[in-house]
Structure 1
Amino acid sequence: MGSVPGEGAKPRIKVLVVDDSALMRHVLSEILNSDPDIEVVGVASDPYIARDKIKLLNPDVLTLDVEMPKMDGLQFLRNLMRLRPMPVVMVSSLTQKNASVTLEALELGAVDFVSKPEIDIASKLKDYAEDIIEKVKVARYATVNKLAPSTEVRCNETFISPAGNTNISSNLHFKTTDQIIAIGASTGGTEAIREVLERLPIDTPGTVIVQHIPGMFSGPFAERMNKCSAMTVCEAQDGERVLHGHAYIAPGDFHLSLRRDGARYYCVLSDHDPVNRHRPSVDVLFHSVAKYVGKNAVGVILTGMGKDGAEGLKAMHEAGASTVVQDEASSVVWGMPGAAVAVGAVDEVLPIAKIAARIVSLYEEKRP
């Protein structure tokens, strides 16, 4: 006997598309409506229309253009996250200015972002249809927290080290690291990485990081993290020596791995095929850390969708490294950490607020 239509069916994800471009509203709606699990319930050309339609239509997910008329996307997002927090996927052009604004949006609570091409939007955006649909689906079930009224973007001011640390910083500038901290993240990871880096001390061992991010965004992201951290944070360069007190973020569109030469570790960048659909891939980094660093490493997977990093973290674990992942409650998406737990790669599962302190205690235990 056939089931009654709609009986037991999973509700479709209701999406409101907010963009000042009529073409973008049309193309995004067409892409999202092509998936049977998604329904675009409305569109809005500016934040004021969006505000009214949110009240009327009660969407599950909002797609929001970074650059909006009447009220910029950031201010609208700030108001939204204070008054009516909901999953938001930002839509951003691949420009240096918009990269910085998008990173601020993620800090304010946006779940993720999609990049729109500068030319031939209608055809080129459809090349990313699968990615856009997946991000909206993930956003629907992401953890979204209310923004406190006093919250401001945290990384606008340069980090000022505590008094007395000048000599430590100077001594670390060329000091080779004998341990490695390796961190991987995806959806929600820009903020999770910030929470870890801003709590790590200036004398942390060399740290290598893969965040799934486009090429135009990785440089501004590294600059932003450098302002938040006592460590020196930069975008990794091919052949660069990994130093104590420094963190190296994989450039978008390049895999980051390590090689060893005697007692020194070096960054290696490559444009080989994506792994787990990603370049940079966390697995590529972690497998190299397992091979060249072994028990002298600490591996960490933070929030993110998919399973990238799970097998690499398992290889690190089997090589004697300490392994930690972010817990489900504090993750925006518990895909990558959960996958690592499922394959038996993890020593500890911790909330994001405790991960930096645990990293410190683990590398302290490993010091001779």
Structure 2
Amino acid sequence: MTAASDGRPVRVLVVDDSALIRQLMTELLAADPGIQVVGAAADPFIAREKIKQLQPDVLTLDIEMPRMDGLTFLQNLMRLRPMPVVMVSSLTEAGASVTLDALALGAVDFVTKPGLDVARGMAEYATLLQAKVKAAANARVARREVRAASATPSAMSYRTTDRLIAIGASTGGTEAIREVMSSMPADAPALVIAQHIPAQFSRPFAERLDRHSRMTVIEAEDGRQILPGHAYVAPGGRHLRVQRSGARWVCRLGDDAPVNGHRPSVDVLFESVAAQAGRNASAALLTGMGEDGARGLLALRDAGATTLAQDAATCVVWGMPGAAVARGAAQQVVPLQDVATRLLVGTDRD
């Protein structure tokens, strides 16, 4: 859907301390007939009152603001009145780290701050912003709870040197992947990840996953050997492929054209895993907007791999996994909390 559930335009409240950003965001969003900007607020206290008065469907929220920072406001909002929030973040590693905190607190998605001094590219930015706001309007938003990592079944041994796990995600994926990784044992098969994310965000994302996982999680580097017990995150702005090198797999990074509008693309990763690992792989397509990964998951299934799609009930946006299910690419459709175990079982084959 591209509007609110009753057919009316998506109602958006823009929250940012910069008058220029508020004006620009308002203009870019209002250019879409499926979106109505109902108001703007310069700080969280004004935003709180406008939420009560205007009943928006979606908030766009800056992080650095006077009187109360965006994270504190978001945390209070998700506790008292959970609603879809799209963060507006600075394109820096510090901004990336704080944005990942916001996603952990319940924000649906994020966009980077628009370049105010560059007119070229504004149309592309507007299209991305509008699409993310519309997707957020239909996202499932709930209070976040911190849960302990799931115990790994002791009766099963997952140590292997010839198995591979692949995960792809987009909107809502940073937290979904974190949950999957928190349930992986230290000696899990090697794992490769494609998450739609900007270049400045992928390294902080990998570092965050590493803190929450018993596996070693790093940003992928070209030519790096893929080892059991390690997970490799595709760098933002570059495709990640798996390539066989003798008896080993290695990471290959590419700067070739975006696929399905994305680089890294889940389809690119999944298709390489299908070609290089075949039935020795298992793969999961998690929450995300669009169709990236659906074709690749079907290639994996055709190659004999175990293929999973996250179910609609636990997705923030059931776009990518839904597209995979529609293609018949997923052997199993499972809730997020079961993904890790099913992936491990999928690689534990003779």
TM-score range normalised by the length of the shorter chain: over 0.9
Q: Which residue of 1 aligns with 2:40?
A: 43
Q: Which residue of 1 aligns with 2:204?
A: 220
Alpha-carbon deviation of 1:146? 2.1
The one-letter code matched in structure 2 to 1:59 is P
C-alpha distance in 1, partners of 2:124/2:13? 21
Assess if the C-alpha contact under 8 Å between 2:192 and 2:231 holds in 1: yes
Alpha-carbon deviation of 1:16? 0.2
Structure 2 unaligned spans of 5+: none
Q: Structure 1 residue aligned with 2:113, among 113, 116, 119? A: 116
The one-letter code matched in structure 2 to 1:18 is V
The one-letter code matched in structure 2 to 1:327 is D
Q: Structure 1 residue aligned with 2:300, among 316, 331, 335? A: 316
Assess if the C-alpha contact under 8 Å between 2:311 and 2:318 holds in 1: yes
Misfit runs of 4+, over 3 Å: 121-127
SS at match of 2:88: strand
Assess if the C-alpha contact under 8 Å between 2:219 and 2:234 holds in 1: yes
C-alpha distance in 2, partners of 1:80/1:205? 39
Assess if the C-alpha contact under 8 Å between 2:114 and 2:125 holds in 1: no
Q: Which residue of 2 aligns with 1:89?
A: 86
Aligned residues: 340
Alignment TM-score, normalising by the size of structure 2: 0.93
Q: Structure 2 residue aligned with 1:276, among 245, 248, 260? A: 260
The one-letter code matched in structure 1 to 2:200 is M
Assess if the C-alpha contact under 8 Å between 1:275 and 1:281 holds in 2: yes
Q: Which residue of 2 aligns with 1:350?
A: 334
Q: Which residue of 1 aligns with 2:173?
A: 189
Compared CA separation, residues 344 and 178, structure 1 to 2 (3 A):
same
Within 5 A, what are the aligned runs for 1:1-368?
Answer: 10-117=7-114, 120=117, 125-147=122-144, 177-364=161-348, 366=349, 368=350
1:18-68 Cα shifts (integer Å, max 9, x gaps):
000000000000011111111000000000000000000000000000111
Assess if the C-alpha contact under 8 Å between 1:94 and 1:118 holds in 2: no
Alpha-carbon deviation of 1:9? 8.2
The one-letter code matched in structure 1 to 2:302 is E
C-alpha distance in 2, partners of 1:310/1:147? 28
SS at match of 2:72: helix
Alpha-carbon deviation of 1:127? 3.9
Compared CA separation, residues 201 and 147, structure 1 to 2 (3 A):
closer
Assess if the C-alpha contact under 8 Å between 1:94 and 1:117 holds in 2: no
Aligned alpha-carbon RMSD (Å): 2.1
- Aligned-residue identity in percent: 59
Alpha-carbon deviation of 1:261? 1.6
C-alpha distance in 2, partners of 1:292/1:37? 43
Alignment TM-score, normalising by the size of structure 1: 0.89
C-alpha distance in 1, partners of 2:336/2:205? 19
Structure 1 unaligned spans of 5+: 1-7, 163-167
SS at match of 1:329: helix
SS at match of 2:313: coil
- Larger C-alpha radius of gyration, 1 or 2? 1
C-alpha distance in 1, partners of 2:54/2:191? 45
Assess if the C-alpha contact under 8 Å between 2:196 and 2:263 holds in 1: yes
SS at match of 2:290: coil
SS at match of 2:312: coil
Alpha-carbon deviation of 1:236? 0.1
SS at match of 1:24: helix
SS at match of 1:341: helix
Assess if the C-alpha contact under 8 Å between 1:91 and 1:115 holds in 2: yes
Alpha-carbon deviation of 1:147? 3.8
